[in-house]
Amino acid sequence: MDGTTRLRRPGAILSLMVVSLLIVVLDNSILNVALRRLADPHTGLGAGQGELEWAVNAYTLVFASLLFAWSYVCERFGRRRALLIGLVVFGAGSVAAAYSRTPGELIAARAVMGLGAASVQPVSLSIVTAVFPPAGRAKAIGIWSSAAGAGLALGPLLGGVLLEHFWWGSIFLINVPLVVLVMVGILAVVPESGGGRQMRLDVRGLVLSVAGMFALTYGVIHGGELGRWSVVTVWGPLLGGAAVLVLFAVVELRSPEPILDVRLFTDSRFAGACAAIAVAFFGLMGVVFALLFYLQSVRDFSPLQAAACAMPIAIAQLLVAPRAGQIIRTLGHRNAAVCGLATAAACLCCYGTMSQTASIPVLEAVLFLHGVSLTFVIPPVTALMMGAVPADRPGAGAAANTAFRQIGTALGVAVLGALLSLRYRDRITGQLGDLPAASRAGAAESIEKTLSVASASAHRPGVPAADGTRIVQRITDAAHESFVAAMHVAAFGAAAVTAVGAVAVLVWLPGRPGAPVPMPEPARAEAAAAAE
């Protein structure tokens, strides 16, 4: 990518990369609003709970598994080409998802969407890194990263609007015109870069990276679904995935053309940045997951109202992220990240003190502050991380960045979700005496099931209307109290992890950026030849 491109069109290129990322993040969060509609046999697909979970998880599993494979495509065949291929695949999967006739077809289409999205997120970051010189890179990465936060909040909001006016397939079909417009812009503005290297395909590394990430991600997701981590179907994939990734690291150390140069993890900038990203997303995604249930099940908000309430996170990132460069110049990468994680931990503690009647404006203020805290973490550590990667291999660094975002997100939802479920079950079980014995175990699984079973049982034959009303009210009050108490435990758990992350970053990250990690010999020779 030449200097002319850097000078004349960086703003247009950055805008296209932001929109590309926003499309895939939006659609991944938009699905959560449509789950109830998809479960309806009349207005949806009649999907069961397990099928709904796989509609979400198929995307995540494929996405996480193929990140490093796409980094090879990016560096071997060119970044623009890899991004365009990813967008085409994502768009095709969106069409298939929109017109799915069965839950199985939807699950398969979501897997195809994950295949395409696995290209878009890391490749768009590698293009931003290549386009902007170090002086302007932090600001550009800040703007790019704000799309992730914006998509997280805007997805449910857009989904709610679409579902109020159109059929459920519209949440997927909306992607198609957006993908087409972005592709036209990319073809017109973004030059090809990063391709042409005569890299030998590291088949063993590719297979091991896919298998390891798949098994590890599956174990995390399945553990969160079950709420138990001691069963073989959970710890087996976790241990197996970890073992395969260790073998992957050994193979990559010996490979002349590694998919990921694992020596990067010996650089405290790279390793510390990976940890900071994972910790930030662990706390954010895990607690936002719980807050959406709190707003809908305890405060009786509609999905659209709950999504609107979460908007301050997105607004904060959109306002503050463009100032990432100034934040770094003032505080430095390490101090900015430590301040951000410490503030995030404080926000998580605030969530841990919320009552059933907490002030919504106060909650929105805390959410805004939480969004600001993320802009002190993600852009600085991402810029530091990409600065540690050899200039000709940003794809590998971007793939690692995305992988640790995904790991943090999956762990946050799974671990904190499991903690929330376990604590809720412990508190509510002893308060279901008014329900038939056969219904109590199922009613204790979640607050939604508690309220549903209570309503159905109270109106069963033989129960006077007045008694039924009292039963519903008593169990509803107990469910609300139990859920809020469980949410407190999850929030303080997330705060503890985030606080430990802040201390680790303070100790681990260097105060000043250093030089990139040296390239492997074959890559160095090719770079020298290209320079001549």
Q: pLDDT tens, 391-435?
A: 666 666 777 777 788 788 778 877 887 788 888 888 887 777 666
In this structure, the answer to whether residues 213 and 85 fall within a common structural domain is no
Residue 230 lies in a domain: yes
* Mean pLDDT, rounded, for 40-44: 75
Assign 145 a pLDDT band (cuts: 50, 70, 90): confident
Domain limit, last residue, from 177, 194, 211: 194
Residue 529 lies in a domain: no
Q: Which amino acid is at 503?
A: V
In this structure, the answer to whether residues 28 and 54 fall within a common structural domain is yes
In this structure, the answer to whether residues 233 and 304 fall within a common structural domain is no
In this structure, the answer to whether residues 353 and 466 fall within a common structural domain is yes
Residue 167 lies in a domain: yes
Q: How do residues 44-60 score in pLDDT, each as one tens digit? A: 787 765 677 778 778 87
In this structure, the answer to whether residues 272 and 187 fall within a common structural domain is no
Residue 364 lies in a domain: yes
In this structure, the answer to whether residues 190 and 210 fall within a common structural domain is no
At 5 the pLDDT is 43
Cα 87 to chain centroid, rounded = 18
* Mean pLDDT, rounded, for 234-252: 88
Check if the beta carbon of residue 518 is closer than 8 Å to that of residue 392.
Answer: no
In this structure, the answer to whether residues 125 and 32 fall within a common structural domain is yes
**Structure token digits, residue 334:** 């390490």
Determine the Cα–Cα distance for residues 82 and 286; give it in Å rounded to an integer. 31
Q: How do residues 337-364 score in pLDDT, each as one tens digit? A: 999 999 999 999 999 999 988 999 999 9
**Structure token digits, residue 483:** 């859920």
Instruction: Identify the residue with better confidence: 279 or 304.
Output: 279
Residue 522 lies in a domain: no
Please name which of 273, 289, 250, 326 lies closest in space to residue 508, comparing C-alpha atoms: 273
CA angle 26, 399, 313 (to 5 degrees): 35
Domain limit, last residue, from 258, 273, 295: 258
Q: How do residues 225-236 score in pLDDT, each as one tens digit? A: 676 778 888 889
Would you say residue 332 has pLDDT above 90?
Answer: no
In this structure, the answer to whether residues 249 and 278 fall within a common structural domain is no
- Per-residue CA distances from 272 to 115, 194, 290 (Å): 28, 26, 28
At 287 the pLDDT is 80
* Mean pLDDT, rounded, for 185-196: 79
**Segment of 213-222, 481-490, 503-512 carrying the highest mean pLDDT:** 481-490
In this structure, the answer to whether residues 208 and 154 fall within a common structural domain is no
In this structure, the answer to whether residues 273 and 382 fall within a common structural domain is yes
At 187 the pLDDT is 92
Sign of CA dihedral 145, 150, 156, 162: negative
**What's the pTM value of the predicted model, to 2 decimals?**
0.78
Q: How do residues 467-476 score in pLDDT, each as one tens digit? A: 667 777 888 8
Residue 528 lies in a domain: no
* Total number of residues shown for the chain: 532
Indicate the average pLDDT of the chain.
Answer: 80
Residue 96 lies in a domain: yes
CA angle 157, 161, 165 (to 5 degrees): 165
Torsion of CA 281, 282, 284, 286, to 10 degrees: 140
In the chain, the number of structural domains is 3
Residue 488 lies in a domain: yes
Q: Which domain holds residue 297?
A: 264-517
Domain CATH code at residue 123: 1.20.1250.20
In this structure, the answer to whether residues 269 and 150 fall within a common structural domain is no
At 181 the pLDDT is 94
**Structure token digits, residue 112:** 């195809």
Assign 508 a pLDDT band (cuts: 50, 70, 90): confident
In this structure, the answer to whether residues 401 and 471 fall within a common structural domain is yes
